[in-house]
């Protein structure tokens, strides 16, 4: 199955889709440092360093999937909140790609802020454009006027070109060691008979806290004798007490959220001699209101790209003794579930910007597996129908 990746960033979604069996024919990205990262980890001939507005989609007709993360800054809670008035709003060009190539499916990722009430009308417009990508706005018509026309069009044409679903997900619920909330939008072409369902969320906080403060098996796994005194904030400790009272010795269903210790606990101290090229200590970490770091025995808070490429204080580890330090690039990429040998181009700030903007690889893989299964079933159905037609024609010829 063939995919086209637009707004590729560092390639987190592309890597996940690749691991689920999709062949990335092209990765389109504007940022020069992100393109260096893509060339270092993917087929460099498939990396297109240019503005999507000047990209020629024509050579990629017949592609099965279009994927990517349209720039999130227009909708980010920490950004300027300009949405459709922000020149970085690239959703119209994502829709253009779908209209021109007619893929069997598409998947886009964006920030939670896109669901803010103040953006609701524009988000509705995005969804309708994705459902009817060939219904372009007339020249001179602004988006709100086009939205009005699309709503009328939808009433008269209830069967869309694409069936579109979206969901606000927390990546920790998918086993990723990070509480990262993102909106995932998935579309299937109307002629695809199978229905999209988001992958099951198998991990939860209750199970983690139960294993940490009731069964104690979390600490046993990490060869620690007892819960560390300052391993959690008072808020989490109160929740742990409620879980102890609610469940007792019967564990909550599901799997425990994965923590920073689960994925980073085996790494050497970044100050030591270890031979890991991107695992270098960075001095200067400090805690201040709103930026206190991530407790080592919980999933990381959202790794942030930061303004102007400078990550905020949340890109820190906070240990049980209340000490803090910055994440290394190596640690941050493991939290985002990139392979350990994945290479990021640029200094610490630039690398962290790319990592903070990326889709966790595991999330991309799980979505990719679901899409691959649907598209494979569709291909098998078409192959069967074609074989049946060929057999019938052959029989007619014999008669």
Domain locations along the chain: 2-201+360-385, 203-356
Per-residue pLDDT reduced to its tens digit, 75-84 = 544 444 344 4
Per-residue pLDDT reduced to its tens digit, 164-179 = 999 999 999 999 999 9
Q: Which CB contacts under 8 angstroms, 24+ apart, belong to 329-334?
A: 329/278, 329/279, 329/280, 329/355, 330/267, 330/276, 330/278, 330/279, 331/264, 331/267, 331/279, 332/303, 332/356, 333/278, 334/263, 334/264
Per-residue pLDDT reduced to its tens digit, 63-72 = 999 999 987 5
How confident is the model at residue 222, as a pLDDT? 95
Q: Which fold has domain 2-201+360-385?
A: Rossmann fold (3.40.50)
Q: Which fold has domain 203-356?
A: DNA Methylase; Chain A, domain 2 (3.90.120)
Least trusted range by pLDDT, from 155-164, 242-251, 254-263: 242-251
How confident is the model at residue 108, as a pLDDT? 97
- 72 is an active site residue: yes
Going by C-beta distance under 8 Å and a sequence separation of 6 or more, which residues neighbour residue 202?
Answer: 173, 174, 175, 254, 255
**387 pLDDT more than 70:** no
Per-residue pLDDT reduced to its tens digit, 105-137 = 999 999 898 898 988 999 999 999 999 999 998
The pLDDT-based confidence of 380 (bands split at 50, 70, 90) is low
Averaged pLDDT, 253-270: 97
Task: Please provide residue 139's backbone torsions phi and psi, each rounded to the nearest 5 degrees.
Answer: -55, 130
The pLDDT-based confidence of 391 (bands split at 50, 70, 90) is low
Q: Per the residue annotation, which of 13, 14, 72, 127 is the catalytic one?
A: 72
């Amino acid at each position: 199955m063939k995919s086209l990746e637009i707004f590729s960033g560092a390639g987190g979604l592309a890597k996940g889709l690749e691991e689920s069996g999709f062949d990335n024919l092209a990765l389109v990205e504007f940022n020069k440092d992100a393109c260096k990262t893509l060339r270092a980890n993917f087929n460099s001939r498939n990396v297109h360093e240019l503005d999507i507005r000047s990209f020629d989609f024509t050579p990629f007709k017949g592609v099965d999937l279009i994927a990517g993360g349209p720039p999130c800054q227009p909708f980010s809670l920490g950004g300027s909140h300009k949405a459709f008035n922000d020149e970085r709003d690239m959703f119209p060009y994502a829709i253009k790609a779908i209209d021109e190539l007619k893929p069997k499916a598409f998947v886009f990722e964006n920030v939670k802020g896109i669901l803010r009430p103040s953006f609701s009308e524009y988000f509705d417009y995005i969804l309708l454009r994705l459902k009817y990508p060939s219904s372009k706005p007339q020249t001179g018509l602004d988006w709100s006027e086009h939205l009005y026309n699309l709503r009328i069009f939808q009433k008269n044409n209830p069967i869309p070109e694409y069936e579109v679903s979206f969901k606000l997900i927390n990546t920790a619920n998918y086993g990723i060691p990070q509480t990262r909330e993102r909106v995932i939008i998935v579309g299937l072409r109307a002629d695809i008979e199978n229905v999209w369902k988001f992958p099951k969320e198998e991990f939860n906080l209750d199970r983690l806290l139960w294993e940490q403060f009731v069964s104690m098996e979390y600490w046993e796994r990490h060869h620690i004798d007892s819960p560390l005194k300052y391993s959690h904030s008072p808020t989490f400790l109160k929740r742990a007490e409620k879980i102890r009272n609610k469940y007792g010795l019967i564990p909550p269903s599901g799997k425990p959220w994965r923590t920073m210790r689960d994925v980073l606990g085996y790494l050497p101290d970044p100050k030591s001699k270890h031979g890991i090229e991107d695992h270098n200590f960075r001095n200067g970490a400090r805690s201040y209101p709103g930026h206190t770091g991530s407790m080592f025995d919980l999933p990381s808070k959202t790794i942030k790209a930061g303004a102007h490429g400078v990550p905020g204080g949340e890109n820190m580890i906070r240990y049980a003794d209340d000490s803090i330090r910055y994440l290394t690039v190596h640690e941050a990429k493991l939290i985002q579930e990139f392979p350990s040998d994945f290479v990021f181009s640029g200094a610490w700030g630039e690398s962290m910007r790319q990592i903070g903007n990326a889709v966790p690889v595991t999330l991309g893989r799980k979505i990719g597996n679901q899409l691959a299964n649907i598209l494979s079933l569709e291909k098998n159905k078409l192959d069967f129908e074609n074989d049946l037609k060929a057999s019938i024609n052959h029989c007619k010829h014999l008669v």
